[in-house]
Chain A
Amino acid sequence: EIVMTQSPATLSVSPGGRATLSCRASQSVSSNLAWYQQKPGQAPRLLIYGASTRATGIPARFSGSGSGTEFTLTISSLQSEDFAVYYCQQYNNWPPLTFGGGTTVEIK
């Protein structure tokens, strides 16, 4: 099973600031990585797939990068609606499909 590790667990950022979230895989997942955003009481929402392709309707301030075992989600200018929990997920080698433990982006 591929273990996904996200860091930091919590990130405090000022509105308008930049957020950089990390996701590490226990073995290479090539570019087969997705990112999701989840707000309290809501289902997750797909942001990025293929490590760097934005899903339909996702603003350009969200960008993904990386391949192999190291990945980054960057939110370039945080808006109020971006404060949420973010999860990465690998789909290179499954079952099982595996998620990281999440990073909470909170208001500084």
Chain B
Amino acid sequence: QVQLVQSGAEVKKPGASVKVSCKASGYTFTSYGISWVRQAPGQGLEWMGWISAYNGNTNYAQKFQGRVTMTTDTSTSTAYMELRSLRSDDTAVYYCARKGGSGTLSWFDSWGQGTLVTVSS
């Protein structure tokens, strides 16, 4: 069965960077893209960006352009999301999610368990 397993919780100081991993199993990693979605405490879902696991192409939400980098390691079927210059309002649960649909059709058919990133001085 499809599984996305994320790395553990992180506590970071303002200005620091965080890198969250998402290890995929149960499917051909390079056949599906991965999006990253975050959820601040008590808030809704916010899409951060997407990476093709096939060729590494990315699409980032404008809000995060210049501050986020998404990568993949096909040898380990793992996706990564690095967010830099952290602020207190980056405190959130970060999810990876597999892209369902073909072409530009992009819903999320499987999700990681989430990684809590806390930004605090």
* Contact surface of A with B, Cβ cutoff 8 Å: 32, 34, 36, 43-46, 49, 55, 87, 89, 91, 94-102
Cα–Cα distance between A23 and B37 once the two chains are bound (Å): 20
Cα–Cα distance between A100 and B46 once the two chains are bound (Å): 9
Query: 8 Å CB contacts to A: which residues of B91-121?
Result: 95, 97, 100-101, 104-114
A96 B45 Cβ-Cβ under 8 A: no
A96 B62 Cβ-Cβ under 8 A: yes
Query: 8 Å CB contacts to A: which residues of B24-49?
Result: 35, 44-47, 49
Q: Tell me if B's interface is mostly helix, strand, loop or mixed.
A: strand
Assuming A49-B101, A91-B101, A95-B61, is B46 touching A44 (CB within 8 A)? no
Q: CB-CB < 8 A to B60: which residues of A? A: 95
B44 A99 Cβ-Cβ under 8 A: yes
Query: 8 Å CB contacts to A: which residues of B43-63?
Result: 44-47, 49-50, 59-63
A94 B59 Cβ-Cβ under 8 A: yes
Assuming A49-B101, A95-B49, A95-B60, is B44 touching A34 (CB within 8 A)? no
| Interface size band for B | 20 to 34
Contacts A43-B95, A87-B44, A94-B106 known; 14 new A-B pairs at CB < 8 A = A32-B105, A34-B107, A34-B108, A36-B45, A44-B97, A49-B107, A55-B109, A87-B45, A91-B107, A94-B59, A96-B61, A99-B44, A99-B47, A102-B44
Q: CB-CB < 8 A to B100: which residues of A? A: 46, 49
Q: CB-CB < 8 A to B104: which residues of A? A: 91, 94
* Contact surface of B with A, Cβ cutoff 8 Å: 35, 44-47, 49-50, 59-63, 95, 97, 100-101, 104-114
Look across to chain B and name the residue whose beta carbon is closest to the beta carbon of A32: B105
Look across to chain B and name the residue whose beta carbon is closest to the beta carbon of A45: B111
B45, B46, B107, B114: residue with the most chain A Cβ atoms closer than 10 Å: B107
Q: CB-CB < 8 A to A32: which residues of B? A: 105
B111 A44 Cβ-Cβ under 8 A: yes
In whole Å, how far is A86's beta carbon from the nearest beta carbon of chain B?
Answer: 11
A46, A89, A96, A97: residue with the most chain B Cβ atoms closer than 10 Å: A97
